[in-house]
Protein backbone atom coordinates (compact mmCIF):
# COMPACT_ATOMS: atom_id res chain seq x y z
CA UNK A 1 0.00 0.00 0.00
CA UNK A 2 1.49 3.31 -1.04
CA UNK A 3 0.59 6.10 1.37
CA UNK A 4 1.34 9.55 0.03
CA UNK A 5 1.63 13.02 1.51
CA UNK A 6 1.26 15.38 -1.45
CA UNK A 7 1.63 19.10 -0.97
CA UNK A 8 -1.53 21.07 -0.50
CA UNK A 9 -2.16 22.58 -3.91
CA UNK A 10 -5.64 23.80 -3.02
CA UNK A 11 -4.60 26.68 -0.76
CA UNK A 12 -6.77 29.68 -1.51
CA UNK A 13 -8.54 27.89 -4.36
CA UNK A 14 -12.10 26.56 -4.44
CA UNK A 15 -12.29 23.67 -6.89
CA UNK A 16 -15.94 22.94 -6.08
CA UNK A 17 -17.99 26.15 -5.76
CA UNK A 18 -21.47 25.43 -4.40
CA UNK A 19 -24.49 27.02 -2.69
CA UNK A 20 -24.84 29.18 -5.77
CA UNK A 21 -27.29 32.10 -5.78
CA UNK A 22 -28.50 31.66 -9.35
CA UNK A 23 -28.75 27.99 -10.37
CA UNK A 24 -27.63 24.44 -9.76
CA UNK A 25 -24.55 23.40 -11.72
CA UNK A 26 -23.00 19.99 -12.47
CA UNK A 27 -19.28 19.64 -13.14
CA UNK A 28 -16.83 16.76 -13.50
CA UNK A 29 -14.91 15.77 -10.40
CA UNK A 30 -11.30 17.00 -10.36
CA UNK A 31 -9.88 14.47 -7.89
CA UNK A 32 -9.05 10.77 -8.14
CA UNK A 33 -11.54 8.29 -6.75
CA UNK A 34 -9.00 5.65 -5.77
CA UNK A 35 -5.89 7.40 -4.46
CA UNK A 36 -3.67 4.28 -4.28
CA UNK A 37 -2.51 1.80 -6.90
CA UNK A 38 -3.75 -1.69 -6.10
CA UNK A 39 -1.08 -4.22 -5.15
CA UNK A 40 -1.12 -7.72 -3.67
CA UNK A 41 -0.72 -6.33 -0.13
CA UNK A 42 -3.78 -4.05 -0.40
CA UNK A 43 -6.42 -4.60 2.33
CA UNK A 44 -9.13 -5.23 -0.29
CA UNK A 45 -9.23 -7.39 -3.40
CA UNK A 46 -8.61 -5.97 -6.86
CA UNK A 47 -12.24 -6.41 -7.91
CA UNK A 48 -13.37 -4.63 -4.73
CA UNK A 49 -11.09 -1.70 -5.51
CA UNK A 50 -12.49 -1.53 -9.05
CA UNK A 51 -16.06 -1.69 -7.76
CA UNK A 52 -15.40 1.22 -5.39
CA UNK A 53 -13.75 3.20 -8.19
CA UNK A 54 -16.62 2.59 -10.60
CA UNK A 55 -19.66 2.63 -8.30
CA UNK A 56 -18.51 4.90 -5.47
CA UNK A 57 -19.14 2.40 -2.68
CA UNK A 58 -18.12 -1.03 -1.42
CA UNK A 59 -19.99 -3.51 0.79
CA UNK A 60 -17.80 -5.85 2.88
CA UNK A 61 -19.16 -8.73 4.93
CA UNK A 62 -17.75 -11.12 7.53
CA UNK A 63 -15.01 -8.76 8.70
CA UNK A 64 -15.88 -9.22 12.37
CA UNK A 65 -16.40 -12.31 14.48
CA UNK A 66 -19.86 -13.02 15.97
CA UNK A 67 -18.49 -12.09 19.41
CA UNK A 68 -17.21 -8.76 18.10
CA UNK A 69 -20.57 -7.96 16.47
CA UNK A 70 -22.37 -8.82 19.71
CA UNK A 71 -20.06 -6.53 21.67
CA UNK A 72 -20.77 -3.64 19.27
CA UNK A 73 -24.53 -4.16 19.50
CA UNK A 74 -24.39 -4.25 23.31
CA UNK A 75 -22.27 -1.08 23.40
CA UNK A 76 -24.78 0.68 21.16
CA UNK A 77 -27.68 -0.32 23.42
CA UNK A 78 -25.82 0.92 26.49
CA UNK A 79 -25.26 4.36 24.96
CA UNK A 80 -28.88 4.76 23.84
CA UNK A 81 -30.28 3.45 27.13
CA UNK A 82 -29.18 6.57 28.97
CA UNK A 83 -29.47 9.49 26.55
CA UNK A 84 -29.43 11.87 29.53
CA UNK A 85 -25.71 11.12 29.88
CA UNK A 86 -25.02 12.40 26.34
CA UNK A 87 -23.91 16.00 25.89
CA UNK A 88 -26.88 17.94 24.55
CA UNK A 89 -24.99 19.20 21.51
CA UNK A 90 -24.05 15.63 20.54
CA UNK A 91 -27.64 14.39 20.60
CA UNK A 92 -30.17 14.68 17.76
CA UNK A 93 -33.71 13.39 18.25
CA UNK A 94 -36.39 12.46 15.75
CA UNK A 95 -38.46 15.45 14.56
CA UNK A 96 -41.27 16.08 17.03
CA UNK A 97 -40.15 13.42 19.55
CA UNK A 98 -37.41 12.66 22.09
CA UNK A 99 -36.44 9.42 20.32
CA UNK A 100 -32.69 9.21 19.67
CA UNK A 101 -31.82 9.73 16.00
CA UNK A 102 -28.07 10.45 16.10
CA UNK A 103 -25.30 10.64 18.70
CA UNK A 104 -22.22 12.52 17.50
CA UNK A 105 -18.63 12.10 18.72
CA UNK A 106 -19.35 8.42 19.12
CA UNK A 107 -15.70 7.64 19.83
CA UNK A 108 -15.88 10.02 22.82
CA UNK A 109 -18.88 8.25 24.31
CA UNK A 110 -17.70 4.66 24.07
CA UNK A 111 -14.33 2.96 24.44
CA UNK A 112 -15.66 0.11 22.29
CA UNK A 113 -16.46 2.41 19.38
CA UNK A 114 -13.24 4.37 19.84
CA UNK A 115 -11.46 1.05 19.40
CA UNK A 116 -13.62 0.19 16.36
CA UNK A 117 -12.73 3.48 14.65
CA UNK A 118 -9.05 2.51 14.86
CA UNK A 119 -9.49 -1.09 13.83
CA UNK A 120 -7.32 -2.10 10.88
CA UNK A 121 -10.30 -3.61 9.08
CA UNK A 122 -11.71 -0.10 8.77
CA UNK A 123 -8.73 2.24 9.01
CA UNK A 124 -6.40 0.31 6.69
CA UNK A 125 -9.08 0.23 4.01
CA UNK A 126 -9.60 3.98 4.41
CA UNK A 127 -5.83 4.58 4.20
CA UNK A 128 -5.68 2.55 1.00
CA UNK A 129 -8.67 4.23 -0.64
CA UNK A 130 -7.38 7.71 0.24
CA UNK A 131 -3.65 7.07 -0.28
CA UNK A 132 -2.75 8.81 2.96
CA UNK A 133 -2.82 8.54 6.72
CA UNK A 134 -6.30 9.29 8.05
CA UNK A 135 -8.05 10.92 10.98
CA UNK A 136 -11.71 11.07 12.05
CA UNK A 137 -13.51 14.05 10.56
CA UNK A 138 -16.74 12.91 12.23
CA UNK A 139 -18.19 9.92 14.08
CA UNK A 140 -21.73 9.16 15.07
CA UNK A 141 -24.27 6.52 16.01
CA UNK A 142 -27.36 6.51 13.79
CA UNK A 143 -30.60 4.97 14.93
CA UNK A 144 -33.77 4.67 12.86
CA UNK A 145 -36.49 3.14 15.06
CA UNK A 146 -39.19 0.84 13.77
CA UNK A 147 -42.48 2.41 12.62
CA UNK A 148 -41.38 6.04 13.14
CA UNK A 149 -37.82 6.37 11.77
CA UNK A 150 -37.67 9.30 9.37
CA UNK A 151 -35.98 9.44 5.99
CA UNK A 152 -32.64 11.07 5.12
CA UNK A 153 -32.96 12.95 1.83
CA UNK A 154 -30.59 12.67 -1.15
CA UNK A 155 -27.29 14.49 -0.77
CA UNK A 156 -23.53 14.34 -1.23
CA UNK A 157 -21.69 14.46 2.08
CA UNK A 158 -18.77 16.22 0.43
CA UNK A 159 -21.01 19.07 -0.70
CA UNK A 160 -21.88 19.81 2.94
CA UNK A 161 -18.39 19.14 4.28
CA UNK A 162 -16.89 21.42 1.62
CA UNK A 163 -19.45 24.20 1.96
CA UNK A 164 -19.86 24.25 5.75
CA UNK A 165 -16.76 22.51 7.19
CA UNK A 166 -14.09 23.63 4.72
CA UNK A 167 -13.02 20.19 3.49
CA UNK A 168 -10.98 21.13 0.40
CA UNK A 169 -10.90 18.00 -1.76
CA UNK A 170 -12.79 14.76 -2.40
CA UNK A 171 -10.40 12.73 -0.29
CA UNK A 172 -12.62 11.29 2.42
CA UNK A 173 -14.56 8.06 2.83
CA UNK A 174 -17.34 7.00 5.19
CA UNK A 175 -17.51 3.60 6.86
CA UNK A 176 -20.96 2.54 8.04
CA UNK A 177 -20.86 -0.48 10.36
CA UNK A 178 -24.31 -2.09 10.54
CA UNK A 179 -25.50 -2.80 14.08
CA UNK A 180 -28.82 -4.29 12.98
CA UNK A 181 -29.78 -6.31 9.94
CA UNK A 182 -30.44 -3.93 7.05
CA UNK A 183 -32.92 -5.23 4.48
CA UNK A 184 -34.46 -3.52 1.48
CA UNK A 185 -37.48 -2.79 3.70
CA UNK A 186 -36.28 -1.02 6.86
CA UNK A 187 -34.72 2.11 5.37
CA UNK A 188 -31.24 0.97 4.26
CA UNK A 189 -28.64 3.19 2.66
CA UNK A 190 -29.50 3.87 -0.98
CA UNK A 191 -26.93 5.16 -3.46
CA UNK A 192 -26.79 6.37 -7.05
CA UNK A 193 -23.86 4.34 -8.42
CA UNK A 194 -21.34 6.42 -10.33
CA UNK A 195 -22.71 9.74 -9.05
CA UNK A 196 -19.38 10.38 -7.28
CA UNK A 197 -17.80 11.21 -10.65
CA UNK A 198 -19.71 14.48 -10.93
CA UNK A 199 -20.15 17.32 -8.49
CA UNK A 200 -23.61 18.81 -8.05
CA UNK A 201 -23.16 22.44 -7.00
CA UNK A 202 -26.43 23.21 -5.25
CA UNK A 203 -28.49 26.36 -5.50
CA UNK A 204 -29.23 28.44 -2.42
CA UNK A 205 -26.96 30.26 0.00
CA UNK A 206 -26.20 28.70 3.40
CA UNK A 207 -28.25 30.20 6.25
CA UNK A 208 -26.47 30.95 9.52
CA UNK A 209 -26.39 27.90 11.81
CA UNK A 210 -27.86 25.76 9.06
CA UNK A 211 -26.82 22.59 10.93
CA UNK A 212 -29.45 23.20 13.61
CA UNK A 213 -32.21 22.32 11.15
CA UNK A 214 -30.35 20.27 8.52
CA UNK A 215 -29.50 17.50 10.99
CA UNK A 216 -33.21 16.72 11.22
CA UNK A 217 -34.26 17.67 7.69
CA UNK A 218 -31.80 18.81 5.05
CA UNK A 219 -33.18 21.41 2.67
CA UNK A 220 -30.06 23.41 1.70
CA UNK A 221 -27.32 21.57 -0.20
CA UNK A 222 -29.56 19.00 -1.85
CA UNK A 223 -29.76 18.31 -5.61
CA UNK A 224 -32.89 19.20 -7.54
CA UNK A 225 -35.40 16.47 -8.34
CA UNK A 226 -34.61 17.04 -12.02
CA UNK A 227 -30.95 16.19 -11.46
CA UNK A 228 -31.75 13.19 -9.27
CA UNK A 229 -34.16 11.84 -11.90
CA UNK A 230 -31.56 12.20 -14.63
CA UNK A 231 -28.74 10.55 -12.65
CA UNK A 232 -30.97 7.71 -11.48
CA UNK A 233 -32.29 7.08 -14.98
CA UNK A 234 -28.71 6.77 -16.21
CA UNK A 235 -27.34 4.49 -13.48
CA UNK A 236 -30.25 3.21 -11.41
CA UNK A 237 -30.37 3.00 -7.62
CA UNK A 238 -28.55 0.54 -5.36
CA UNK A 239 -29.52 -0.46 -1.83
CA UNK A 240 -26.66 -1.46 0.48
CA UNK A 241 -28.02 -4.27 2.65
CA UNK A 242 -26.59 -6.97 4.88
CA UNK A 243 -26.66 -8.52 8.34
CA UNK A 244 -25.31 -6.81 11.44
CA UNK A 245 -21.54 -6.54 11.19
CA UNK A 246 -21.56 -5.63 7.49
CA UNK A 247 -19.43 -2.58 6.62
CA UNK A 248 -20.33 -0.16 3.83
CA UNK A 249 -17.57 2.12 2.59
CA UNK A 250 -18.81 4.94 0.40
CA UNK A 251 -16.98 7.76 -1.31
CA UNK A 252 -17.59 11.23 0.08
CA UNK A 253 -19.25 12.53 -3.11
CA UNK A 254 -21.57 9.58 -3.78
CA UNK A 255 -25.20 10.71 -3.71
CA UNK A 256 -27.11 8.73 -1.11
CA UNK A 257 -30.30 8.72 0.96
CA UNK A 258 -32.49 6.39 3.00
CA UNK A 259 -36.24 5.88 3.23
CA UNK A 260 -38.31 6.16 6.37
CA UNK A 261 -38.71 2.98 8.39
CA UNK A 262 -42.32 1.85 8.86
CA UNK A 263 -41.39 -1.77 9.57
CA UNK A 264 -41.21 -3.17 13.12
CA UNK A 265 -37.47 -3.63 12.65
CA UNK A 266 -35.12 -0.79 13.70
CA UNK A 267 -32.05 0.14 11.69
CA UNK A 268 -28.84 1.25 13.38
CA UNK A 269 -25.23 1.85 12.37
CA UNK A 270 -21.95 3.25 13.65
CA UNK A 271 -20.61 5.81 11.22
CA UNK A 272 -17.01 6.95 10.85
CA UNK A 273 -15.77 9.59 8.39
CA UNK A 274 -12.11 9.11 7.54
CA UNK A 275 -10.38 12.10 5.99
CA UNK A 276 -6.85 12.24 4.61
CA UNK A 277 -4.49 14.14 6.91
CA UNK A 278 -3.42 16.19 3.88
CA UNK A 279 -7.06 17.23 3.38
CA UNK A 280 -7.74 18.77 6.79
CA UNK A 281 -10.52 21.33 7.01
CA UNK A 282 -9.83 25.00 6.33
CA UNK A 283 -12.29 27.92 6.37
CA UNK A 284 -15.75 26.99 5.03
CA UNK A 285 -16.16 27.53 1.31
CA UNK A 286 -19.85 28.52 1.40
CA UNK A 287 -20.81 29.40 4.97
CA UNK A 288 -20.13 32.35 7.25
CA UNK A 289 -18.51 30.17 9.93
CA UNK A 290 -17.58 26.52 10.47
CA UNK A 291 -19.99 24.03 11.92
CA UNK A 292 -19.33 23.10 15.57
CA UNK A 293 -16.52 20.71 16.50
CA UNK A 294 -18.90 17.83 17.27
CA UNK A 295 -19.79 17.76 13.56
CA UNK A 296 -16.33 18.29 12.09
CA UNK A 297 -12.89 17.95 13.64
CA UNK A 298 -10.98 21.20 13.47
CA UNK A 299 -7.47 22.22 14.41
CA UNK A 300 -4.43 19.97 14.45
CA UNK A 301 -4.93 16.49 13.04
CA UNK A 302 -3.07 13.37 14.10
CA UNK A 303 -3.03 10.13 12.09
CA UNK A 304 -5.08 7.39 13.70
CA UNK A 305 -3.06 4.77 15.51
CA UNK A 306 -4.28 1.62 13.79
CA UNK A 307 -4.93 -1.39 16.02
CA UNK A 308 -4.75 -4.98 14.76
CA UNK A 309 -5.89 -7.23 17.59
CA UNK A 310 -9.48 -8.41 17.81
CA UNK A 311 -11.53 -6.58 20.42
CA UNK A 312 -13.79 -9.43 21.61
Compute mean pLDDT per 10 residues along the chain, 312 residues long, and list them.
46 88 96 98 98 98 97 93 83 73 92 97 98 98 90 95 98 98 96 98 92 74 96 97 98 97 95 98 96 93 96 82
pLDDT of residue 215: 67
pLDDT of residue 216: 62
User: Are 147 and 138 a contacting pair, CB within 8 Å?
Assistant: no
pLDDT of residue 177: 98
pLDDT of residue 149: 86
Cα–Cα nearest to 266, from 155, 100, 113, 108: 100
Half-sphere exposure of 135 (CA within 13 A, CB side): 15
pLDDT of residue 123: 98
Amino acid sequence: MNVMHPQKQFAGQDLYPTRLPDEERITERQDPVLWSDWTEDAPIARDEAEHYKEKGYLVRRDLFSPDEVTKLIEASAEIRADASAIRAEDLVTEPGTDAVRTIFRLDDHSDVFARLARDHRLADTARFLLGDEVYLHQSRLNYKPGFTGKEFYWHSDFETWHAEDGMPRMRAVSASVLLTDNSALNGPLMLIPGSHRRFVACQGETPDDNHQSSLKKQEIGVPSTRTLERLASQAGLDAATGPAGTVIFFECNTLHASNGNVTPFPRSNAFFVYNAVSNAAVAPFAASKPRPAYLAHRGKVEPLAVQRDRFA
